[in-house]
Amino acid sequence: MNEMNPKVDFYFIKANKWQEEIEQLRTIALDCGLTEQLKWGCPCYTLQKSNIVLIHVFKEYCAFFFFKGALLKDTKGILIQQTENVQAARQVRFTNLKEIVKLKTTLKAYIHEAIEVEKAGLKVPMKKTTEYKVPEEFQNKLDKNPQLKTAFNALTPGRQRGYLFHFSQPKQSKTREARVEKYIPQIMKGKGFDD
């Protein structure tokens, strides 16, 4: 078993609802020879600086988050795609300690498979920005404003996808229109949605 990282201990100490469960997940990850780090405020388990699996706590469940879960065979059918827009990552969710204990051997096998995926240098094929739907409200603005179109096209593909996803979420056209208007100045400055 690899060593626990003292910088990560606080995460397990502060956990109220899922303490036993995430401590068990921690033991499983460390038993697989991974290095424990703190990333995005969560315990992350890495192999030579490559992210393999992360422990995440939600209101209704705790989870193992496999960074390249889409490439795993999932012979037990336990991996969950969080939303349709998540391309690479997959979760295994738990609502009690018994579920984790029951799946301990399977979870270790999945982690070892994820390690082999990483060692092989496999990559999840990602959708291209051109495959994302451009909401009509944003397309109208792009058609009417050549500077906006130029500024949007100059953004990195990730920033473009972030905007397209954000603009597409609301069901009502009025809300989509308001979002587009709000972020036009940001796009014109060459900044991403979260910048």
Residues 62 and 144 in one domain: no
Residues 29 and 110 in one domain: yes
Q: Count how many domains the chain has.
A: 2
- Read off the CATH number of the domain in which 115 is found: 3.90.1150.200
Residues 104 and 180 in one domain: no
Burial 127-145, CB ≥16 within 10 A → b, else e: eebeebebbebbeebbeee
Residues 30 and 113 in one domain: yes
Better pLDDT: 109 or 87: 109
Q: What is the helix (H) or strand (E) element at residue 92, kind and residue range?
A: strand 90-94
Task: In whole angstroms, give the CA distance from residue 172 to residue 6.
Answer: 48
Residues 71 and 91 in one domain: yes
Structural contact between residues 66 and 89, judged by C-beta atoms closer than 8 angstroms: yes
- Residue pLDDT, tens place only, 119-128: 999 999 888 8
Distance from the first to the final alpha carbon of the chain? 40
pLDDT higher than 90, residue 188: yes
Q: What is the pLDDT of residue 169?
A: 87
Task: In whole angstroms, give the CA distance from residue 101 to residue 107.
Answer: 10
Residues 29 and 94 in one domain: yes
- Residue 94's SS3 state is strand
Q: What is the pLDDT of residue 103?
A: 97
pLDDT higher than 80, residue 1: no
Please identify, among 119, 154, 180, the residue that sits at the C-terminal boundary of a domain.
Answer: 119
Better pLDDT: 13 or 112: 112
Residues 60 and 144 in one domain: no
Q: Is residue 24 part of a domain?
A: yes
pLDDT higher than 80, residue 173: yes
Neighbours of 25 (CB within 10 A): 28
- Residue pLDDT, tens place only, 14-27: 877 899 999 999 99
Which among 9, 42, 43 is positioned nearest to 28, based on CA atoms?
A: 43
**Residues written for the chain:** 195
Q: What is the pTM assigned to this prediction?
A: 0.75
Domain of 158?
A: 129-188
Q: What is the pLDDT of residue 108?
A: 98
pLDDT-based confidence at 107, cuts 50/70/90? very high
pLDDT-based confidence at 99, cuts 50/70/90? very high
pLDDT higher than 80, residue 84: no
Q: What is the pLDDT of residue 182?
A: 95
Residues 139 and 114 in one domain: no
